[in-house]
Amino acid sequence: MAYFDQHRAELDPDKTVMDNLAEGKQEVMVNGKPRHVLGYLQDFLFHPKRAMTPVRALSGGERNRLLLARLFLKPSNLLILDEPTNDLDVETLELLEELIDSYQGTVLLVSHDRQFVDNTVTECWIFEGGGKIGRYVGGYHDARGQQEQYVALKQPAVKKIEEAAAPKAETVKTQQ
């Protein structure tokens, strides 16, 4: 299992980008193959000079890119992403979408970025209140459409039940 923490707690602010990623080594293992640290960091949009920078000097988006670089080094079949789009620019968002799309395992994603959800997921779980979780095929907008269809189908049935249960007004005939 690999977990992306939106709070960035696993980064050491006093270490450089390279040291946070490779702990002093020059190579990292990517899908079972060795890669030079700087080359791998460039995949995550880090210029080689920026790789020597202490993490405390990085922007929020750069810290998230570093976390993503670390995350995708971990061999896992389950990827849990907690608000991974916070502080990311468009280029990094597109990179993350590609990484998720090519990921061979299961991805659990929590995000408020509806477009990102639409672009990356095949199923949505939505908290619907009262302890219920709705499961829907597709992205966020697909899920909302399915919810609306369900409500529309349910409304006439509820109305018919209410009408059947409602007391009928009786007409009394009087003789003249």
Q: How many domains does the chain have?
A: 1
Residue 132 covered by a domain: no
> For 92-101, how does the pLDDT look when each residue is reduced to its tens digit (9 = 90+)?
999 999 999 9
Does residue 167 surpass a pLDDT of 70? no
CB 124 within 8 A of CB 136: yes
**pLDDT interval class at 151 (50, 70, 90):** confident
In the prediction, which pLDDT does 85 show?
A: 92
CB 137 within 8 A of CB 146: yes
In the prediction, which pLDDT does 25 show?
A: 94
Residue 141 covered by a domain: no
Residue 104 covered by a domain: yes
**pLDDT interval class at 6 (50, 70, 90):** confident
pTM of the model: 0.77
Residue 139 covered by a domain: no
Residue 43 covered by a domain: yes
CATH number at residue 18: 3.40.50.300
| Residue 146, C-beta contacts closer than 8 angstroms, at least 6 positions apart | 136, 137, 138
Residue 24 covered by a domain: yes
Q: Is 75 helix (H, G, I), strand (E, B) or coil?
A: coil
Give the torsion through C-alpha atoms of 153, 155, 161, 166, to 10 deg. Answer: -160
The whole-chain average pLDDT of the chain stands at 89
CA distances from 30 to 34, 39, 70, 75, 119 (A): 6, 11, 10, 9, 25
Q: What domain range is 41 assigned to? A: 2-121
In the prediction, which pLDDT does 158 show?
A: 59
